[in-house]
Amino acid sequence: MSDPLRHLLGLQDFEAAARRRLPKPIYAYVSGAVEDGQSERGNRQAYAQYAFRPRVLVDVSQRSTRTTVLGRDYAAPVGVAPMGIAALSSYRGDIVLARAAADADVPCIMSGSSLIRLEEVMQAAPGTWFQAYLPGDESQIAALIDRVAGAGVTTLVLTVDTPVAANRENNVRAGFSTPLRPSLGLAWQGLTHPRWLFGTFLRTLWRHGMPHFENNYATRGAPILSANVLRDFSDRGHLNWRHVAAIRRRWKGQMVIKGILHPDDARTARAQGMDGVIVSNHGGRQLDGSVSPLLALPDVVQAAGGMDVMLDSGVRRGSDVLKALALGARCVFVGRPFNYAATVAGQRGVARALSLIVEEVRRNMGMLGVVMLSQMTEDLLWRLPSQLDVADGADNAGG
């Protein structure tokens, strides 16, 4: 009997397969962006603005995808981005993602908006990074940081681009809400997607009870059906760099800021003692019209002053990874496709997705005449003129 995963040849292939398995509201939550989707489209379009200039007749027989991120050696410069409520789209999703990344020897960031206790994930996959959404009270922040340290986390990621709730109209149109509200429509979606209903949702209820947001605070958060979820996600508007400085004093491990797009914020992060930053617009899920991380990357790298700079949002191919590295990224993180892969085939699906993109990186290195990732430099790229540049040139060409 043939393995159905053999027909999934690139990261984009997992989305169609996952869409068939997931109820419409759950798929909408994972796939959706915000408002008109400008940022999400821009994230992909940015990669098309750069073309490769390969070097030929280079011995690439011994090329390696290994890289160092925050002082640790990894097998490839591709990691698993944090994804909220991953355990609702695949059974024990956070553990599945973390274990697959650990087996592939690549970094993984667990989401603070998760439905599995971080202690369980760290036990299953030591070395997983943890992304925290900070609560609104300084004493709660301190308690959460102490809990994260007690769980054995060594790399803390603070996501800072969610001061207020985003306008995710697509969720409303598809019937997804936070908290989840039982309805006839939601029940019908479950019944018409039995593999998800029995393999993920009812299996979770049977073995683990009603899912809660487990890691927003030092104590257990609200269940996914509770109205208190709105409060848990809406009290971040007053957070500022002073809170980051207090955490840096308290946290003894490595610390990364995620959600940087402006070079001035990279300079501030460096001054605050951060070990790295992740250039990100949250996959186009927060501020519509925000600049693509790839386009923002060079200025952030210049401002970072030696900090490790990483990137997420829009990465789908090994060629995307190499373009980001050529512009100064240390590694990249991928979100939605790995979520879909977990939906389709659990840990085996994520392993397949990781192997596909890492092999693309390795193959493209050979095509580019690159043996080590440190050789991926900007001189291997050619920035194509944008439509605006072409239009401006035509306007200025008259007599």
Catalytic residues: 282
Count, residues in the chain: 399
Rounded to an integer, what distance in angstroms lies between the CA atom of residue 150 and that of residue 119?
9
Distances (CA, A) of 206 to 197, 210, 226, 336: 12, 9, 19, 27
- Asked whether the beta carbons of 302 and 309 are under 8 A apart, the reply is no
- Beta-bridge partner residues of 312: 333
State both tokens at 204. 């979770």
The one-character DSSP state at 328 is T
Considering only CA atoms, give the Rg of the chain. 21
Say which residues have a Cβ less than 8 Å from residue 256's Cβ, sequence separation at least 6: 70, 129, 155, 156, 157, 158, 274, 275, 276, 277, 278, 310
Query: What DSSP letter does each residue of 225-261 carry, written as one string?
Result: T-THHHHHTS--TT--HHHHHHHHHH--SEEEEEEE-
State both tokens at 254. 């490595």
